[in-house]
Amino acid sequence: MSEIIKPRLEVCLSPALLHLFDVKNSIVVIIDVLRATSTICTALHNGAAKVIPVATVEECVNIGRQLNAITAGERDGKIADGLLHGNSPFEYPEEFIAGKVLVLTTTNGTKLLHMAKDAVQIITGSFPNISAVCEYLISQGQPVILGCAAWKDRVNMEDTLFAGAVVSRIKAHFDVNCDSALAAETLYQSAGNDLFGFMKKASHYQRLARYGLEEDIRFCLTPDGANVLPVLRNGELVKEK
């Protein structure tokens, strides 16, 4: 009897655990739901030429000047000194971002992205582009690591929930033997149809809500509002044709 060998699907809950996974032979999905990866797919969906993720404000300023690009990034919930824009997906409508280059500095997401640089392919995932992510992963037939950016290496709820949503959608196509994946999927199912309500108990919700960002959170938890696939090519995130 022949048996189809399915590729592995695993969830890495924190960058501090990434060394336990076989990054080199996997597609890595960078997940930073609130709000970096939600904003990245939104900018590309609205016509940005590309998004360049950088680690520091200084790099952001320098590259932005070289490329005459839009610079964006926050530190502690405020636009960082020297940059012009923040992390909200609502800052990047088509009339503003179409055809432009966005240089974005985030702490958690960018760190993970650089750690995963040897992966077969890096893409970014979030609820606004969940369908594009799932279709791509199924189509590739390769091992997958769903990499949560977390919060200063601490496991967070929103990235875990997104990983669980992906597991729940694509698991039939993969070999899932990973308790983090089982945990993430179970959490996602527990939240049911009320991700926003469920997230109100989470630590990051409380941080962002203090800044008046409930609408951002609602968009970042809603499927397919900006359903394109950002892929990393030569250090730049571009929309997969």
Binding region for its own copies (CB under 8 A): 13-14, 16-17, 20, 151-157, 160, 177-180, 182-183, 186-187, 189-190, 201-204, 206
> What is the C-alpha separation between 129 and 37, in angstroms, rounded?
9
> What is the C-alpha separation between 73 and 36, in angstroms, rounded?
9
Minimum CB distance to its own copies, residue 148 (Å): 11
Nearest to 142 by CA among 108, 170, 101: 170
Minimum CB distance to its own copies, residue 116 (Å): 17
Which of 206/233 has CB closer to its own copies?
A: 206
Q: What angle do helix axes 157-170 and 179-191 make, rounded to 10 degrees? A: 100
Tokens of 196: 């926003």
Which of 137/150 has CB closer to its own copies?
A: 150
The CB density around residue 231, as the number of other CB atoms within 10 Å, is 18
Minimum CB distance to its own copies, residue 202 (Å): 5
Q: Is residue 23 helix, strand or coil?
A: helix
Which of 44/116 has CB closer to its own copies?
A: 116
Which of 110/160 has CB closer to its own copies?
A: 160
Minimum CB distance to its own copies, residue 16 (Å): 6
Q: Which helix (H) or strand (E) holds 28?
A: strand 27-31
Minimum CB distance to its own copies, residue 43 (Å): 27
Which of 15/64 has CB closer to its own copies?
A: 15
Nearest to 44 by CA among 158, 125, 139, 144: 125
- Residue given tokens 């970014």 in the structure block: 124
Minimum CB distance to its own copies, residue 205 (Å): 10
Asked whether 199 and 221 are in contact (CB, 8 A), the reply is yes
Which of 175/215 has CB closer to its own copies?
A: 175
